[in-house]
Amino acid sequence: MSESSLRVVWVYPDLLSTYGDRGNALVVERRARQRHLNVTRIDVRSDQAVPTSGDIYLIGGGEDRPQRLAAERLRADSGLIRAAENGAIIFGVCAGFQIMGHEFVNDLGEREPGLGLLDVWTTRGEGARCVGDVLADVDPRLGLPQLTGFENHQGVTHLGQGVQPFATVTVGRGNGTGDGTEGAWRDTVFGTYLHGPVLARNPAVADMLIKLALDVNALPPADTTWYDALRAERIAATTRPA
């Protein structure tokens, strides 16, 4: 696969990179290079234009004010929206997930418009924060193993008719709605609340993004020894009796 090339865009690392979410970009880059793909990673700061020619766009989590600033700049820039319209793969985590929806509650307590890339909207939960390790069963149509990650958010994300839950939680709270849903997806746009970073804990998700970007059904095998050890450790810790 050495003739194939992949452009991975890490969006606003200066605003949205909570809990080591930059690791998601590193994992996608690493998983691609293990298949001898030519990879170009582009880190786009919030004072730069988002290119429309990327293949995979990754957005991390962030605190309330940086999230508002990121949403404002992404709306004004429109590069990410145009990339999605061109069929790019987009994967957002936590604040990045909320920004991809129709609206969320910002640090001023106001409803902030999102990008409308996913048919979801986020309100602020009234109870305790959703905090802790999560295990979830991914939508069977995606053909992925059990999802593991860490959540820490106050948002409650409601899903509209235009999306499907990314996963259903067996441990944890997911979208915070009480219905067991975690994240959302439609076509080539995916959102989740899980940190970890989530692609380090779930390399099969990174591989799925690469396959979608290359429009292939399978990738050559790659070593997963380190990832398997991390997954086993976190899953065991999550399911271990308190």
Contacts of 136 (CB under 8 A, 6+ apart): 146, 147, 166, 167, 168, 169, 170, 171, 172, 174, 182, 194
Is 195 assigned a catalytic role?
yes
What is d(CA 120, CA 182) in angstroms, rounded to the nearest whole number?
A: 12
129 marked ligand binding residue: yes
- DSSP single-letter state for residue 49: P
Is 36 assigned a catalytic role?
no
Q: Given 102, 130, 153, 195, which residue is catalytic?
A: 195
Q: Give the containing element (helix H, strand E) for 205.
A: helix 203-214
Q: Given 94, 102, 130, 153, which residue is catalytic?
A: 94
Phi and psi at 207, nearest 5°, equal -65, -35
Q: Which residues are catalytic?
A: 94, 195
Annotated binding site: 129
Annotated binding site for substrate: 129
